[in-house]
Every structure is written in C-alpha cells, then in structure tokens.
C-alpha cells in the first residue's frame, strides 16, 4: 500500500513515515504543494496525507486542483485548524477525511483504514461515455452508433483511463504506473503498442474520439466535433 505524505514539518514527516512503514506501508514524502501536486499527477498512490498549511501552493489548492483534474485517490487533509468550519470546508473541497493536529498515530491508522475501505469512484462507474462512444468497463465492450467490439483487458484499462480524463494530457509515466503498476517493470515500447491497438479500435468504430500524441510528454484523448 503506497501513501504520499505532503507535509512541511520535516520532523513530523519522519515520525509518521517511520510509524507507517513499521506497519507495512510504503511512504513517499515531500514538503511543499507544488512538488506534491507533481507527484500526485505522476504516480499511482493508494492514499494521500495532505497538510493544509503549506509553503507556496497550500493544501487547499492542491486538493481542489487534484479533484478538478479527476484524480480520485483518497485524500486525508491534516491541519492545525481544527475548528468546525475548517473541517466542513475541507470536506466540501473534496477531502475524504479531516484530521486535526496533533493526532495520535492510532487514530491516523484507523482513519487510513477507513478511507481505504470505501469504494473508490475510480472503479465505481462501469458505464463510461465520451463523444459518441460508450464503454462498459465490466464487459470490456466498446460501442459507437451501431458498431460494437470487445477489448482486451489491457486495452480496456487504457481506454478507461483516457475516458475518465478526456482532454487531459496523460504523461507516459502516469499511464505506465496506472495500467501496469508502479513496479510493473514494463518497457515503454509496450505502451506505444497498446496505444496503436487502441487507435486502430477507435478507427474501426468510425467514432469521434482520437488519441493525440503530445510529443515529449504523453497522450491525450480528444473529441472531434463536427463542423
């Protein structure tokens, strides 16, 4: 289980990281909002511990940006601002839980377990739609107009990632991490092969979707609007 902790208190980071790793978690840490948002975008984490008061981009901005970009990873907002209105505001911004400082490690662990037990929005919706395309992630069936085809598991996972992030440039590293896992060890050429397969599928459906190569970065799913 991989956790990202974004916290500017270096001593607290070290203490929490030690306690969590002692219990079998893998923990990455960073100390400012900009780096934290970069790591969220580039890696597949199971949970994020996010301090609200950070230098530069604060935790509220990181949280709202991540949710606006469709990132559904559970986020626990940690803050010294423990008043009721602060907790309500944090939850309304998209946090899955709000933990006032100081906290006991036992309470943090309980809240982490609780957040990880909740169904993820990422896997909750089986029917996805974009442009004139419909995709059933349970059956791995793609349809557009009167045409239907069945995708392989890897093709389906890749298409689902794009359909949940339409119009957003997906870095190659993020795609590899999400589809093959952070320790998948897959060669990048495999990604290019599956992009080719998926493009061929979309073309055979005569649909309005296309996958654009963003040179030096990754790929982006685009909808071709009729003029």
> Of the candidates 177, 136, 125, which has an alpha carbon nearest to the alpha carbon of residue 159?
136
Q: Phi and psi dihedrals of 17, rounded to 5? A: -60, -45
Asked if 51 and 7 count as a contact pair (C-beta separation under 8 A), the reply is: yes
Give the span between the Cα atoms of 8 and 158, in whole angstroms. 35
User: What strand order describes the sheet that includes 141-144?
Assistant: 127-130, 133-136, 141-144, 147-150
Checking if the pLDDT of 175 tops 70, the result is yes
Percent of the chain with pLDDT over 70: 90
Q: CA angle 92-97-100, nearest 5°?
A: 105
DSSP 119: P
pLDDT, tens only, 108-148: 999 898 887 765 444 445 688 888 999 998 888 999 989 99
Domain with CATH 1.10.10.10 in the chain: 125-223
pLDDT, tens only, 74-115: 999 988 776 677 678 778 888 888 898 889 999 999 989 888
Distance of CA 122 to the CA centre of its chain: 8
Domain with CATH 3.40.50.2300 in the chain: 2-121
Asked if 30 and 6 count as a contact pair (C-beta separation under 8 A), the reply is: yes
CATH numeric code, 125-223: 1.10.10.10
CATH numeric code, 2-121: 3.40.50.2300
Q: Phi and psi dihedrals of 66, rounded to 5? A: -60, -45
Neighbouring CB atoms inside 10 A of 101's CB total 15
Report the pLDDT value the prediction gives residue 121, as an integer from 0 to 100.
45
pLDDT, tens only, 34-70: 999 998 887 778 899 999 889 889 999 999 888 887 7
């Amino acid at each position: 289980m991989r956790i990202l902790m974004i916290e500017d208190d270096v001593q607290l980071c070290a203490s929490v990281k030690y306690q969590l790793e002692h219990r079998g978690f893998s923990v990455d840490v960073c100390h400012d909002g900009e780096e934290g948002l970069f790591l969220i975008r580039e890696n597949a984490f199971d949970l994020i511990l996010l301090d609200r008061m950070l230098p530069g981009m604060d935790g509220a901005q990181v949280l709202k940006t991540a949710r606006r970009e469709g990132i559904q990873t559970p986020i626990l907002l940690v803050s010294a601002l423990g008043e009721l209105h602060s907790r309500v505001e944090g939850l309304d911004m998209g946090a899955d839980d709000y933990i006032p400082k100081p906290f006991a490690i036992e309470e943090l662990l309980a809240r982490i377990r609780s957040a990880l037990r909740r169904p993820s929005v990422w896997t909750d919706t089986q029917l996805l739609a974009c442009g004139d395309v419909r995709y059933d992630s349970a059956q791995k069936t793609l349809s557009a107009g009167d045409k239907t085809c069945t995708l392989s598991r890897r093709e389906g996972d890749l298409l689902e990632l794009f359909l949940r992030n339409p119009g957003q440039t997906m870095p190659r590293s993020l795609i590899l991490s999400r589809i093959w896992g952070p320790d998948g060890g897959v060669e990048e050429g495999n990604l290019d092969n599956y992009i080719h397969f998926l493009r061929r599928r979309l073309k055979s459906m005569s649909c309005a979707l296309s996958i654009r190569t963003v040179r030096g970065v990754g790929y982006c799913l685009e909808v071709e609007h009729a003029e």
